């Protein structure tokens, strides 16, 4: 790989990998996600490679003045490489392992092999990320799952507000047994599958269109439409913590049609370190909610918020 620079980090730390679909410090949350462990980093001419072994922190909400301790029943480890030798585009490849001993009777262990390719040509943009997942489920059965994200975008720099338009298809596999579909690890789920965080990235199809525009030099507009469907009709929807929605059992889903969500945000960058976000989202409930027995609510939902963000 040629000459390079080696670094290491030991102790409590945050970690960001790629587009954050699998590992993220969770910038949206009030408390950012941290880990205890070790990380080695190689920065070369053509490759940047990270190897790490980490334990997520156990949040002790009952004792807020005490330091959080690592969860000794959970591990995240693997390698993540970024290839920099392409003349125009970008390529990443990774192996990530997730080992939870505190789920089910014996825990689960998943390995994910994936790659991400993205870039642009002129005003056209594109992104493709695909992953296969294997290992052992919490019921001791063999695990086989996968996920794909494919996007095509277009910039319009010569028009008013210089908008950028993206179209995406996001698929994450389900399974005939509840809980054995694709696992999204420790992601920034809020960034991709709707700002209302209704669905986790398991047994999910998300067809979405995103429009961004610069209203002024300091004010940006985002409009994002999502159409959600189940990937496997025998499985159920999942929350962002990978639990089954409403505790539903296999075979209870009345329809694959989960519904539609539309998100609006206006971001005002007051200074380079301070911004304010005004957000509104609406969810249009699909046929799943009208045809599935035992659900607590069948109707639309609204979400409005104001967020002040300071970097220091």
Contact 39, 48 (CB under 8 A): no
Residue 189: DSSP 8-state = G
- d(Cα 246, Cα 249) in Å, to the nearest integer? 9
The pLDDT score that the predictor gives to residue 31 is 80
Range of 46's domain? 4-310
Of residues 247, 223, 245, 230, the one with CA closest to residue 286:
230
The pLDDT score that the predictor gives to residue 237 is 98
The pLDDT score that the predictor gives to residue 311 is 83
- d(Cα 90, Cα 257) in Å, to the nearest integer? 35
Query: Scanning the structure block, which residue is given the tokens 């192996």?
Result: 95
The pLDDT score that the predictor gives to residue 273 is 93
Contact 178, 236 (CB under 8 A): yes
- d(Cα 98, Cα 75) in Å, to the nearest integer? 6
Both structure tokens of 98: 């997730």
pLDDT digits (tens, 9 = 90+) for 213-224: 999 999 999 999
The pLDDT score that the predictor gives to residue 191 is 92
| The total number of structural domains that make up the chain | 1
- What's the sign of the alpha-carbon dihedral 171, 175, 178, 183? negative
Tens digit of pLDDT at every position of the chain (312 positions): 567 899 999 999 999 999 999 999 988 777 888 999 999 999 988 899 999 999 998 776 665 667 788 888 999 999 999 999 898 899 999 999 999 998 877 899 999 999 999 999 999 999 999 999 999 999 899 999 999 999 999 999 989 999 999 999 999 999 999 999 999 999 998 999 999 999 999 999 999 999 999 999 999 999 999 999 999 999 999 999 999 999 999 999 999 999 999 999 999 999 999 999 999 999 999 999 999 999 999 999 999 999 998 887
- d(Cα 85, Cα 97) in Å, to the nearest integer? 27
Q: What are phi and psi of 243, to 5 degrees?
A: -90, 150
In sequence order, the β-bridge partners of residue 268 are 219, 276
Compute the half-sphere exposure of residue 64: CA atoms within 13 Å on the CB side of its CA.
Answer: 2
CATH number for the domain including 59? 2.40.160.100
């Amino acid at each position: 790989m040629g000459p390079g620079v080696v670094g290491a980090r030991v102790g409590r730390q945050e970690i960001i990998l790629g587009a954050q679909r699998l590992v993220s410090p969770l910038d949206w949350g009030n408390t950012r996600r941290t880990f205890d462990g070790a990380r080695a980093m190689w920065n070369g001419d053509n490759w940047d490679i990270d190897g790490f072994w980490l334990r997520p922190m156990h949040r002790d909400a009952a004792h807020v003045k005490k330091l959080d301790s690592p969860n000794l029943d959970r591990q995240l480890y693997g390698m993540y490489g970024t290839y920099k030798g392409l003349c125009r585009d970008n390529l990443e490849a990774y192996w990530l392992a997730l080992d939870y001993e505190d789920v089910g009777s014996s825990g689960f262990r998943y390995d994910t092999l994936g790659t991400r390719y993205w870039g642009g040509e002129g005003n056209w943009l594109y992104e493709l990320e695909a992953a296969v997942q294997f290992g052992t489920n919490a019921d001791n059965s063999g695990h086989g799952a996968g996920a794909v994200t494919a996007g095509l975008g277009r910039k319009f720099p010569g028009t008013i507000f210089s908008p950028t338009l993206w179209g995406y298809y996001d698929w994450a596999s389900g399974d005939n047994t509840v809980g054995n579909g694709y696992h999204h690890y420790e992601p920034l789920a809020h960034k991709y599958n709707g700002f209302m965080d209704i669905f986790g990235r398991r047994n999910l199809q998300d067809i979405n269109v995103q429009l961004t525009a610069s209203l002024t030099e300091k004010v940006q507009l985002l409009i994002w439409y999502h159409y959600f469907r189940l990937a496997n009709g025998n499985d159920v929807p999942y929350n962002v913590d990978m639990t089954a929605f409403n505790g539903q059992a296999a075979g209870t889903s009345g329809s694959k049609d989960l519904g539609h969500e539309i998100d609006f945000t206006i971001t005002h960058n007051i200074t380079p370190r301070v911004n304010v976000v005004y957000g509104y989202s609406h969810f249009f409930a699909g046929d799943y909610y009208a045809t599935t027995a035992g659900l607590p609510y069948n109707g639309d939902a609204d979400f409005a918020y104001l967020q002040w963000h300071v970097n220091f």
